C-alpha cells in the first residue's frame, strides 16, 4: 500500500520534469532502505512488543518468574533471549515481504494508473538500486526486531503486582 501511494504521489512530478525513467529505482531504494523496514517495524512494535510485554508481565504477576529463579533457571536466558533471537530473524523476513509488496504496488500504480511502460519501471529498478540498498534495510530490520523484543521484555519484567499492572505495562 505504501509503495502504491508513494508512486501515485511522485509519478506526476517526475513526469513533469522528464524523469519518469527513475520511478522504479526511486521506489526500490526508498522501500528497500527506509519505508519497508520502518513500516514493518512500527506495526510489529505495536503487535509483537505488546504481546511480549503482556506475556512476561503476566508471568511476573503470577510469580512464574520467581518460580524459575527458585529452580535455578535464569529468566532472561529462558524467556528473553529466545524472543530476541526470534524477532531478529522474523522481522527482516517480514520486512523483505513488505519491500517486495511495496515495489509491486508501485509497479501496479505506475503501469496501470499512470501509464508508465512496465519495462521502464523494471529497468530503473535494475539501474538505480543495488543489493546494498536491500541489505541495509534487512540489517536495520534485525536491529528493530532486537529493540522490539528487548523493550517488550523489559517492560514485562518491570510489571508491578496485580492484573491491572499488566495492562499498564
> Residue 161 and residue 121: Cα distance in Å, rounded?
56
Number of domains in the chain: 1
Structural domain range at position 58: 2-168
- Residue 21's pLDDT is what? 86
Reading the block at residue 146, the C-alpha cell is 532486537
Which residues of the chain register pLDDT less than 50? none
Q: Which residues contact 40 (CB under 8 A, 6 or more apart)?
A: 91, 94, 95, 98, 141, 144
> Residue 60 and residue 63: Cα distance in Å, rounded?
5
Would you say 6 and 27 are in contact if contact means Cβ atoms under 8 Å apart?
Answer: yes
The count of other CB atoms within 10 Å of the CB of residue 21 is 16
- Residue 61's pLDDT is what? 86
- Residue 14's pLDDT is what? 86
- Residue 162's pLDDT is what? 65
- Residue 145's pLDDT is what? 96
Residue 48 belongs to what H/E stretch?
helix 36-61
- Residue 168's pLDDT is what? 59
- Residue 165's pLDDT is what? 58
Amino acid at each position: 500500500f505504501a509503495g502504491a501511494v508513494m508512486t501515485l504521489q511522485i509519478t506526476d512530478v517526475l513526469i513533469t520534469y522528464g524523469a519518469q525513467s527513475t520511478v522504479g529505482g526511486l521506489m526500490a531504494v526508498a522501500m528497500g532502505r527506509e519505508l519497508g523496514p520502518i513500516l514493518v517495524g512500527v506495526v510489529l512494535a505495536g503487535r509483537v512488543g505488546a504481546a511480549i510485554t503482556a506475556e512476561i508481565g503476566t508471568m511476573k504477576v503470577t510469580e512464574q518468574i520467581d518460580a524459575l529463579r527458585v529452580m535455578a533457571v535464569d529468566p532472561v536466558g529462558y524467556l528473553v533471549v529466545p524472543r530476541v533471537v526470534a524477532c531478529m530473524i522474523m522481522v527482516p523476513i517480514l520486512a523483505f515481504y513488505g519491500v517486495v509488496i511495496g515495489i509491486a504496488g508501485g509497479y501496479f500504480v505506475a503501469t496501470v494508473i499512470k501509464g508508465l511502460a512496465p519495462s521502464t519501471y523494471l529497468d530503473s529498478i535494475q539501474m538505480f538500486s543495488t543489493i546494498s540498498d536491500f541489505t541495509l534495510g534487512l540489517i536495520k530490520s534485525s536491529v528493530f526486531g532486537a529493540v522490539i523484543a528487548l523493550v517488550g521484555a523489559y517492560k514485562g519484567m518491570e510489571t508491578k503486582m496485580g492484573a491491572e499492572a499488566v495492562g499498564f505495562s
